[in-house]
Structure 1
Amino acid sequence: MRKERILYIYPTLSSFIKGDAEILSREYEVTHFRVHPTSWHSLLRSLISQLFHLIFNLRKYDIVYIWFADYHSFLPTLFCKRFKKRCYIVAGGYDVCREKKYGYGSFTNPIRGFMTARSIKNCTTVIAVSKNIKQIIRHVFPSTNCVTIYNGVVLKPGKEDVEKESLVLTVSMASTAKNVFIKGIDRIIEVADLMQETKFILIGTERQLLEKIGYKIPDNLQVLGFVDHSHLQEIYSKSKVYCQLSRRESFCLALAEAMLYNCNPVITNIGGMPEVTGKNGFIINEYSAQNCSFVIKKALEAKTNSLGRERILSEFTIETRAEKILNLLESN
């Protein structure tokens, strides 16, 4: 029996996008199409290439599966609606936001917002990565079919008997000044400067970028940039606290990974992060450096327990996500 074919479209090959590729390939024949949005020229070239690929090859596919509603989802959803193909969009957060104050979200740009909105209206189903994102979609697009399927942790659980250090860890991928601000990295720098006796580690953002923006990095904050998964797991294992002070966050996979390694979470009450922590950890409702430092000290003094770890294993594994995605595609 022939496997159904999926056209898998995405802008970057991040860990969660790789995770979905692996899931889809279990039951389907998957063709990858990557769009390059790094500049207007590369984006335009990608969209022209996408147009010709859809014209000559769409008939070969049974399903189109797209990460993020954006420029790159407009043509596929339009073609799929016209030719009655099933089409799914994974909404990751940026694509359904309009934060004018921060200049963040697809809907801060009229053209981008139009293409995003048409994509969401034309697709078969939107897969939201958190209930928070689903709520936004339901509010803006009440007639759109939308389901929540959480991102899944790929990492294996660490050993429970590893001795924790008085260490505060943050993992945030930021490559621009805007992303640094949205991810609350400026807050991490501010709090670390206030807690000189405590060691902080920031992973995923380059020190050179922070210094270029104008931040002075305190001596107790170690900025590591990109690290591979094996090194990241070592740092998760020894960190007592995981701290995420984002201004916007749809889910936060690193938070779930840290909880899997028994880190005490400290988060801002934003987006999908409270859905990840549940009743575990420490939530900051209103940010100030003084308040945050007080909460982090409490988290460092608190005992670690396995409740957070058990929550991740029951709700947020890659296998849980795989089961729900494959059931969704099969049911349609």
Structure 2
Amino acid sequence: MNVQKLNVIMDTRMVDKHLHGIARYTYEIIKGMSFSNKVHMILLVNNLELSKEIFGQFNNIEFIKMKSKFLSLSEQLELPHIVNKYKGKAIFHSPSFVSSPFIKTKMIMTIHDLNHLRFPQYYSPFHKYYYKYIVKPSALKCEKIFTVSEFSKNEIVDWLKCDRNKVVVTYNGVDSRFKVIKDKNILLRVKEKYKLPDEFVLYIGNLKPHKNVETLVKAMSLVKDNTKLVINGKVNESLNKIINTYKLKDRINFIGYVDDDDLPIIYNLAEVFVFPSLYEGFGLPPLEAMACGCPTIVSNTSSLPEVVGDVGYKFDPNNYGKLGKLVNRSLNINYDINKLIERSSYFNWGKTYNETIKIYLSYKNMLFNQDY
């Protein structure tokens, strides 16, 4: 007997080979669905060849090529034009905040955080209007909204003034690549590749103002002299000013772009990982570090205490003095690596997939039995 599959249209135009952030979340959902005999995924893409390279090994998928780029005005015409053809035959899942209030097909949206609303000074007027006139009306039309933490759920409910049951928390997961690595040859190869010091504090993430990396740099002025700070990416003007003010030029290493395959090894090499962000809907790097057995310090704001639980140190993100003391303390104690790994293992993509498909399938009978 053939089982009638549920069609799920998913916008994947933001996915590239690096699979960071929303792209990673989207990829993992599709990967999980490829093993199901109950769901058929229809992926909206820009670059068909690249998308086939990324998703081609998965089952239960097909592609629809879109002309409109991700986060463009033209998508407000093209997206509904494509998706509305499936009214009564599919549900549409936007794994980011990108959607359209003109979509008439049953819709689910993932809103990872409300960063654009909390820090409007760091975004263009376009983002402000996009959230007001596109995201909010679309979210209110959705059957369900996924988000990645209880913190973000509370923010979204407050923003939309919607029923709490409309917003469902599905945590992000940690990729299996992030683990304790003991092979000395592998560790030495990556250490030499990035010219890493013998003892270092690590920060992985972007350098946007809300990431609060300036506080971490200031804190290094209080950390013992033989310990350096390693940051991915390149130094910017504001950080360079602080580095010079605190005379830290010889103690801060910017290592540029880090290859995805090398990232778990760098976590393994670090003495402690610090994530001083002012605002995170989830905050994946601390979990990646913990999965690699690296002691972790996070700011005590937004979702970060929820993510690291009681196995990571927390500090007021405006208090670089407290952060400096915590870094020194972390360098002088032996952590129970098993507790770090155990906490990180609570967050896995299998759980995310299971919770997602449960919501998908709750609309299956409604679609197949409804007259439009």
What is the RMSD computed on CA atoms of the aligned residues?
3.1
From the superposition, tell whether residues 46 and 7 of structure 1 become closer, same or farther in structure 2 (CA, over 3 Å): farther
Number of aligned residues: 309
* Pairing 1:183–2:211 present: yes
1:181-260 paired onto structure 2 within 5 Å: 181-195=209-223, 196-203=225-232, 205-207=233-235, 209-210=236-237, 214=241, 216=243, 218-260=249-291
**Residue 323 of structure 2, aligned match among 282, 292, 302:** 292
Q: Return structure 1 stretches of 4+ with deviation > 4 angstroms.
A: 42-45, 102-108, 160-165, 210-215
* Pairing 1:89–2:109 present: yes
From the superposition, tell whether residues 129 and 210 of structure 1 become closer, same or farther in structure 2 (CA, over 3 Å): farther
Structure 2 partner of 1:131: 150
Structure 1 partner of 2:53: none
Could you give the per-residue CA deviations for residues 176-197 of structure 1, whole angstroms, max 9, x where no partner exists? xxx1x11112222222344343
Structure 2 partner of 1:23: 29
Shift of the alpha carbon at 1:94? Answer: 3.4
Shift of the alpha carbon at 1:202? Answer: 1.0
Shift of the alpha carbon at 1:99? Answer: 3.5
1:66-85 paired onto structure 2 within 5 Å: 66-69=94-97, 72-73=98-99, 75=100, 78-80=101-103, 83=104, 85=105
Structure 1 partner of 2:298: 267
From the superposition, tell whether residues 198 and 185 of structure 1 become closer, same or farther in structure 2 (CA, over 3 Å): same
Structure 1 partner of 2:138: 119
Residues in 2 aligned to 1:106 and 1:330: alpha-carbon distance in whole angstroms: 38
From the superposition, tell whether residues 5 and 330 of structure 1 become closer, same or farther in structure 2 (CA, over 3 Å): same
From the superposition, tell whether residues 92 and 34 of structure 1 become closer, same or farther in structure 2 (CA, over 3 Å): farther
Gaps of 5+ in 2: 48-67, 188-197, 364-372
Alignment check: 8 A CA contact 2:26 2:95 kept: no
Q: What SS does the corresponding residue of 1:18 show, helix, strand or coil? A: helix
Q: What SS does the corresponding residue of 2:249 show, helix, strand or coil? A: coil
Residues in 1 aligned to 2:142 and 2:83: alpha-carbon distance in whole angstroms: 18
What letter matches 2:226 in structure 1? Answer: E
Residues in 2 aligned to 1:294 and 1:44: alpha-carbon distance in whole angstroms: 43
Residues in 2 aligned to 1:9 and 1:44: alpha-carbon distance in whole angstroms: 9
From the superposition, tell whether residues 110 and 20 of structure 1 become closer, same or farther in structure 2 (CA, over 3 Å): closer
Structure 1 partner of 2:55: none
What letter matches 1:308 in structure 2? Answer: L
Could you give the per-residue CA deviations for residues 22-60 of structure 1, whole angstroms, max 9, x where no partner exists? 42341432313469xxxxxx8699331452343245323
TM-score, length of structure 2 as denominator length: 0.73
From the superposition, tell whether residues 90 and 107 of structure 1 become closer, same or farther in structure 2 (CA, over 3 Å): farther
TM-score, length of structure 1 as denominator length: 0.81
Residues in 1 aligned to 2:180 and 2:75: alpha-carbon distance in whole angstroms: 47
Residues in 2 aligned to 1:121 and 1:328: alpha-carbon distance in whole angstroms: 17
What letter matches 2:343 in structure 1? Answer: R
Identity between Structure 1 and Structure 2 (%): 19
What letter matches 1:197 in structure 2? Answer: N
Alignment check: 8 A CA contact 1:201 1:224 kept: yes
Alignment check: 8 A CA contact 1:193 1:218 kept: no
Residues in 2 aligned to 1:326 and 1:296: alpha-carbon distance in whole angstroms: 41
Gaps of 5+ in 1: 36-41
Shift of the alpha carbon at 1:149? Answer: 0.7
Residues in 1 aligned to 2:115 and 2:138: alpha-carbon distance in whole angstroms: 10
Residues in 2 aligned to 1:33 and 1:136: alpha-carbon distance in whole angstroms: 30
Q: What SS does the corresponding residue of 2:108 show, helix, strand or coil? A: strand
Residues in 2 aligned to 1:304 and 1:169: alpha-carbon distance in whole angstroms: 16
* Pairing 1:51–2:63 present: no
Q: What SS does the corresponding residue of 2:44 show, helix, strand or coil? A: strand
Q: What SS does the corresponding residue of 2:109 show, helix, strand or coil? A: strand
Higher normalized strand content (fraction of residues): 1
Alignment check: 8 A CA contact 2:152 2:303 kept: yes
* Pairing 1:311–2:343 present: yes
From the superposition, tell whether residues 212 and 198 of structure 1 become closer, same or farther in structure 2 (CA, over 3 Å): closer
